[in-house]
Structure 1
Amino acid sequence: MTPDLHAEALLTFAELLDQARATHDPEPTAMTLATVDDDGRVAARTVLLKAFDERGFVFYTNQHSRKGRELQAHPQAALLFHWKTLRHGVQVRIEGVAHAVDDSEADAYFASRPRGSQIGAWASYQSETLPDRETFEARVADYERHFDGVDVARPPHWSGYRVVPDRFEFWYGAQFRLHERWGYELQDGTWSKRMLYP
């Protein structure tokens, strides 16, 4: 029977994430997200993984932010997890295409956020020039008044992206740089697995 390599990669990721949580990694769901702009310039930043399953890996952001604009124009994305607390260090690289999540999924997650974070999603022109901190604090105060006594609705420009993987790489650190690497790749609808030189 042919192994389900996609399921195997997801299970390996889930087990490593559980191990990172068990070692009390301060932010086990932190991942580097890399995107590219129209000129081929690559940008990377840290975001938090909020969900994952067989459909992909989900994070949330302001869609007017730099990463949001870049993903809308060029949906290819790369994710990197680095757990220093595991063994001699473990990295997981994931590459694929990002798709916006459904409104209902975004609404449900937004409703679960702390109220201050909800207000901040309205108040921030993420990635735009901020003349001074006072301007931002005034915007926060304005939205606190606007939503006083009522639930904070999700801003129309705030949602999630699901990165649908076509590549995984699991890197296990070892002494003397004799690391162990395994790659999974989707080609023509079929997943393959191979070991890589460190």
Structure 2
Amino acid sequence: MSEPANTAELIARFQLWLSEAGKSEINDPNAMSLATVDADGMPSIRMVLLKHADEAGFVFYTNLGSQKAAELHGNPQAALCFHWKSLQRQVRVQGQVQPVSNAEADAYFASRPRDSRIGAWASKQSQPMQGRFELEKRVAEKALRFNIGEIPRPEFWSGFRVVPSTIEFWEAKPFRLHDRKRYVRQADDAWQGTPLFP
């Protein structure tokens, strides 16, 4: 039996679960697995941090020279999975991916701790390095370069937004009779929810 829903309702439910996870998860309740696909069709997955979620989608940031960024430029589709072990809940998201605006990226970058901004400049993310000293040297060079001045966002660092086409909520229940429901976005931007066997 399908149930209609709208984007605001689904994001509100996600935000509630995320807020509750923030009270019970030891570290990084906003951590999510991000799955992408390379040019040969090989899937790739890693953990990233959700930085913003609203009716427009789910936002994360990265070095644009990274493996994930290259794969998203080649195939702008992704899947996300949030798993909150302490709450026995999971949310899965699939959708198209689009870059965030320069203004969004600038605003988020400016909000990061200074060390994180220097680290963004120093890291050639996903590229081979000769050893840890090479990274430490680059961090020292960038720290010296910016000294106590402002640290602008590098052109090679920005964000992506996953615009959901499906959102699935899963919650553990007694006797393994778990509650699982998948919502699929319709052409008119409404959503149809379908209960699934767990």
TM-score by length of 1: 0.94
Structure 1 residue 12: deviation in Å? 1.0
Tell me which residue corresponds to 1:101.
Answer: 100
Is 1:174 the counterpart of 2:173? The answer is yes
Gap runs ≥5 in structure 1: none
Contact 1:119 1:144 in 2 (8 A): yes
Tell me which residue corresponds to 2:36.
Answer: 35
CA distance in 2, matches of 1:149, 1:22: 35
Contact 1:5 1:193 in 2 (8 A): no
Structure 1 residue 5: deviation in Å? 2.5
Tell me which residue corresponds to 1:145.
Answer: 144
Whichever residue aligns with residue 61 of structure 1, its letter is T
Is 1:51 the counterpart of 2:52? The answer is yes
Q: Deviations over 1:28-72 (max 9, x none)?
A: 101111000111111111111111111001100001100010011
Gap runs ≥5 in structure 2: none
Is 1:155 the counterpart of 2:154? The answer is yes
Moved more, 167-176 or 121-130: 167-176
Moved more, 4-13 or 36-45: 4-13
Tell me which residue corresponds to 1:128.
Answer: 127
Of all paired residues, the percent bearing the same amino acid is 50
Q: Deviations over 1:129-152 (max 9, x none)?
A: 111111111111111111113111
Tell me which residue corresponds to 1:196.
Answer: 196
TM-score by length of 2: 0.94
CA distance in 1, matches of 2:84, 2:17: 9
Tell me which residue corresponds to 1:74.
Answer: 75
Contact 2:181 2:194 in 1 (8 A): yes
Aligned length: 195
CA distance in 2, matches of 1:103, 1:187: 30
Q: Deviations over 1:83-120 (max 9, x none)?
A: 1111xx10000110111100011001101111111111
Moved more, 117-126 or 14-23: 14-23
Which structure exhibits the higher relative contact order, with contacts defined as CA atoms closer than 8 Å and separated by 6 or more residues?
A: 2
Contact 2:98 2:160 in 1 (8 A): yes
Contact 2:5 2:193 in 1 (8 A): no
Whichever residue aligns with residue 193 of structure 2, its letter is K
